[in-house]
Structure 1
């Protein structure tokens, strides 16, 4: 098979991987799980507040940094650009958790914020101290599957089917190695799952 034929055959997979990476972005995924779990409590006020601290503010941080050219892309592909972004998003999650605790938020709402905070904290340690670019995408989706299953029951475990697709997408575009994506997956499932389970 010629090089041109191989390239042509790979292009659809490349485009598919790019789409997977965009729709699985934490910028979209975090608000999704916040709305889903928040809505299960029946409190739209707390759902909105949770979505602000776990989704809208972090997205604002990322796009603000992108506008100021502090980062090269909204996936924060460059590992050296990640510490500042992670620190800023951790601050948003800490503020959100404080609001939840002081305002006596529904337990699942507090659980989501705490789970995201704990997961990102572990990822930050691996990234900054370990100097290893662990996959946030994979961690987020594994954590989502865990939290939704604990909230809605076993049928929600079907969301875990998205995790290998996300892992494939991150590896295919070479933003991460397979070990980095798998460690992200394990971290998200264990840290987010345990944190949310203990609180909610």
Structure 2
């Protein structure tokens, strides 16, 4: 579960899915590139340079600079969408990703809790799709315990870090998505 629900794979899948569902697959692919593919390439580059130990970035100290770099990528995608007048739903999804990432950065760098990005992204995407597309998407939360279990079994997170990540995604992502979608439309 930890590989299937890795943040980059969930970001790619959710961006492509939303793009298709709203009739803008090109925008979905564009945001997937900046929210999933390029961040994973940054992680691999960090591993090659021996600045990051593994592709899940399990060391708390390795996350600070990486979060800022990923934030820069996602903000770049947002700017392009705004300038090119991309679809409201994709702009709202991108803003929700930024808000969630900033929240994780606060937990990581200021509070000192290594919030589970796996849980934050999974729960956040489920919540966004549930409030933005159909309540049936809430059923995706049924997989959250398996994702949490896999992260704890690997020793990558404590139950507290899992809970903080899940709560952050469930609260920040859908609220941001709805606020931006209503503001931009």
TM value normalised by structure 2: 0.94
* CA–CA distance in structure 2, aligned partners of residues 54 and 42 of structure 1: 19
State the partner residue of 2:180: 199
Give the Cα separation in 1 of the matches to 2:38 and 2:68: 13
Residue 150 of structure 1 deviates from its aligned partner by 2.2
Partner of 2:156, secondary structure, is: coil
Per-residue CA deviations over 1:111-145 (Å, capped at 9, x if unaligned) read 11111110010100110111221111110111011
Report matched runs for 1:92-107 at 5 Å: 92-107=73-88
Matching of residues 178-193 of structure 1 within 5 Å: 178-193=159-174
CA deviation after TM superposition for structure 1 residue 175, in Å: 0.7
For this pair of structures, how many residues does the alignment match? 181
From 122, 134, 147, give the equivalent of 2:103: 122
Is 1:170 aligned with 2:151? yes
- Please state if 1:74 is matched with 2:48: no
Cα offset for 1:44?
Answer: 2.1
Shift of the alpha carbon at 1:58? 0.8
Which one of 64, 68, 74 corresponds to residue 87 of structure 1?
Answer: 68
Rg larger in 1 or in 2?
A: 1
Q: Which runs of 4+ in 1 moved over 3 A?
A: none
Task: Please give the alpha-carbon distance, in whole angstroms, between the structure 2 residues aligned to 1:111 and 1:172.
Answer: 34
SS in 2 for 1:23: coil
Counterparts of 1:39-50 in structure 2 under 5 Å?
39-50=20-31
Alpha-carbon contact 1:126-1:134 (below 8 Å) kept: yes
- Give the superposition deviation at 1:50: 1.0
